[in-house]
Amino acid sequence: MTYAYNFNAGPGALPSEVLQEAQEELHNFQGIGASILEMSHRSKPYEAIHNEAQQLIKELLELSSDYDVLLLPGGASAQFCMVPINFLTKGKTAGYVNSGTWSGKAWKEAQKIGKTLVLASGEKEYFKRLPDLNNLGIPRELAYVHLTSNETIGGIQYKSFPDTGDVPLFADMSSDIMSRPIEASKFALIYAGAQKNIGPAGVTIVIVHRPLLERIPEAIPDMLSYNVHAKHNSLFNTPPVFSVYMVNLVLKWIVNQGGLPEMAARNRQKADLLYHVIDTSGGFYRGLAHKDSRSMMNITFGISSPEIENKLLVELEQEGFMGLKGHRDAGHLRASVYNAVPYEHCKTLAEFLADFQKRNG
Ligand code: PMP
């Protein structure tokens, strides 16, 4: 069977070794005689997977012992409302960095719950450049500061994060979690849907600094309370068991590949290959993001002529490249080069783009 060159933005490529392993144990998990899909989430085999996934997240991100790792349903979008429901309590104001589509959505949801303040915005630069985080002027009484580490649609990504002092820093890392080492201790809360770098859709990782849980009001509904989920080790209700199982396999794969420093080195190489083709094309291809803000995960670019762009998209599909059409809100092209996308696939794409320019430039 021939596999496509998978550049999907999410759900995105999974390591083929992981898919193979999941296939092999689908009918009969570890000789038990049943699939992991058919077992209680309170069974020993499932609990071992659940705990191992949480442990691997702690190890890979080098979290100190005062962080809890939650495995929740609802996608990152559910976190857009859960974050303010838990922490934007009466009389408080939350600070948001508006860097594009996803941070904008998070901000919009928070406005339904309470008062917000935009600390920095990339709107004036059409969200092609990251808002500067160096001089945020954070009022000390803010409930939290929220940012998005990688804007999946615009293709811009923070390389460093601010020190927010006593104000807790929260981040949506849906599209770059586990793609590089981070200074986890800077963050009081991190959330990420799994379906880009660490697994299939269905489970969202929430990493929370435990002392923060004490601030959560008792009155909020159980399913929306981080405190309730933490107290029950994310087994308050039935968790998305198959997604957690897959995440666990992917995390083990990341460890075996050399961990986050190795992921970062590979991702840098892959992104560099593609940006090089764009930058040396003499204007035939145009990167959409400013160079100082470019993402290593989502490479967004266009061609000056819409006709040639359409021709390229048709040819890419014919040649087995998948997922390069940009998001419906942004247009143009986007190559998502998450952890599981092999270097060779990026090289094949880079060569194809260079050849296409020769034929059409
Ligand atoms: N945040 C970011 C940065 C994303 O890229 C996405 C999905 N593409 C979301 C949030 C929303 O995730 P979900 O579909 O899991 O709700």
* Domain CATH code at residue 190: 3.40.640.10
Assess whether 24 and 112 both reside in one domain.
Answer: yes
pTM (global) more than 0.80: yes
- Quick one: pLDDT at residue 1? 52
Question: Choosing from 68, 172, 176, 270, which is the catalytic residue?
Answer: 172
Average model confidence (pLDDT) across the chain: 96
Q: How far is the CA of 102 from the centre of ligand 1 (A)?
A: 7
Q: Could you give the CA distance from residue 279 to residue 353 in angstroms, rounded to a whole number?
A: 12
Assess whether 200 and 51 both reside in one domain.
Answer: yes
The tokens for 103 are 């941070």
- Quick one: pLDDT at residue 161? 97
Counted domains in the chain: 2
Inside any domain, residue 5: no
pLDDT band of 329, cuts 50, 70, 90: confident
Q: Which residues of 335-358 are buried (b: 16+ CB within 10 A; e: fewer)?
A: bbbbbbbbeebbeebbebbbebbe
Contact partners, residue 129, CB within 8 Å, separation at least 6: 122, 156, 289, 290, 292, 293
Inside any domain, residue 245: yes
**Ligand 1 atom nearest residue 74's Cα:** 16
| 112 assigned to active site | no
| 172 assigned to active site | yes
> Of 234, 256, 278, which marks where a domain is finished?
256
Q: Give the pLDDT mean for 176-180.
A: 98
Inside any domain, residue 1: no
- Quick one: pLDDT at residue 361? 85
Inside any domain, residue 22: yes
Inside any domain, residue 11: no
Name the burial class of residue 221, with classes exposed (0-12), middle (13-18) and buried (19+) by CB atoms within 10 angstroms of its CB.
Answer: exposed
> Of 229, 256, 283, which marks where a domain is finished?
256
pLDDT tens for 79-91 read 999 999 999 999 9
User: Beta strand 156-157 with 150-151: parallel, antiparallel or unpaired?
Assistant: antiparallel
Assess whether 220 and 278 both reside in one domain.
Answer: no
Inside any domain, residue 2: no
Its domain, for residue 277, covers 259-360
Q: Could you give the CA distance from residue 170 to residue 152 in angstroms, rounded to a whole number?
A: 17
Assess whether 112 and 218 both reside in one domain.
Answer: yes
210 and 67 Cβ atoms separated by less than 8 Å: yes
Assess whether 124 and 249 both reside in one domain.
Answer: yes
Q: Could you give the CA distance from residue 260 to residue 171 in angstroms, rounded to a whole number?
A: 18
pLDDT tens for 98-146 read 999 999 999 999 999 999 999 999 999 999 999 999 989 899 999 999 9
The tokens for 128 are 């092609």
Query: In Å, how far are 58, 172, 233 from 51, measured between CA atoms?
Result: 11, 23, 9
Looking at 55-69, 218-232, 321-335, which range is the least confident one?
321-335
pLDDT band of 183, cuts 50, 70, 90: very high
pLDDT tens for 48-81 read 999 999 999 999 999 999 999 999 999 999 999 9
Domain containing residue 314: CATH number: 3.90.1150.10
| pLDDT beyond 70 at 2 | no
With CA atoms as reference, report the closest residue to 199 among 30, 354, 53, 33: 53
Q: Give the pLDDT mean for 303-331.
A: 90
Inside any domain, residue 200: yes
DSSP code string of 95-115: EEEE-SHHHHHHHHHHHHHSE
Q: Could you give the CA distance from residue 342 to residue 335 in angstroms, rounded to a whole number?
A: 13
Q: How far is the CA of 263 from the centre of ligand 1 (A)?
A: 21
Assess whether 157 and 252 both reside in one domain.
Answer: yes
6 marked as binding residue: no
Assess whether 322 and 242 both reside in one domain.
Answer: no
